[in-house]
Amino acid sequence: MALTFYWYPNCGTCKQAKKWLEENDVDFTSIHIVENPPSKEELQDLIAKSGLPAKKFFNTSGKKYRELNIKDKIKDADTNEMAEILATDGMLIKRPIATDGQKVTVGFKEDTFQENWL
């Protein structure tokens, strides 16, 4: 099954991850995370399958994250509330996100991609 690869073309980390997928002949469909952000329900599913805390899905180094003071908004939020906030703006989501429908990776680390997508 082809990977679904949520990315932002201007993001250096996303470009590295995309290049890695191409160089390793991994079949994937790319989705522009800002133009087509995952829905609240999709995010809840991604969070659940990733095994990571929902907070790991936030782009904490992003301008929007700081401008909107998300750190304080999610301090006591549950996964449902966090997914709702994430779904409002693709720039709030840490990227890239890759999934095959079973596993999910967030961000790009070559060893993590090697382990999960080869």
Task: Parse the chain into domains and list their residue ranges.
Answer: 3-117
pLDDT of residue 1: 65
pTM given for the model = 0.94
Using pLDDT thresholds of 50, 70 and 90, give the confidence band for residue 105: very high
Q: DSSP states of 28-64 as a string?
A: EEEEETTTSPPPHHHHHHHHHHHTS-GGGGB-TTSHH
Question: Quick check: 23 pLDDT over 70?
Answer: yes
Which CATH number applies to 3-117: 3.40.30.10, 3.40.50.150, 3.40.1190.20, 3.20.20.450? Answer: 3.40.30.10
Residue showing tokens 């991609």? 113
Could you tell me which residues are beta bridge partners of residue 5? 30, 98
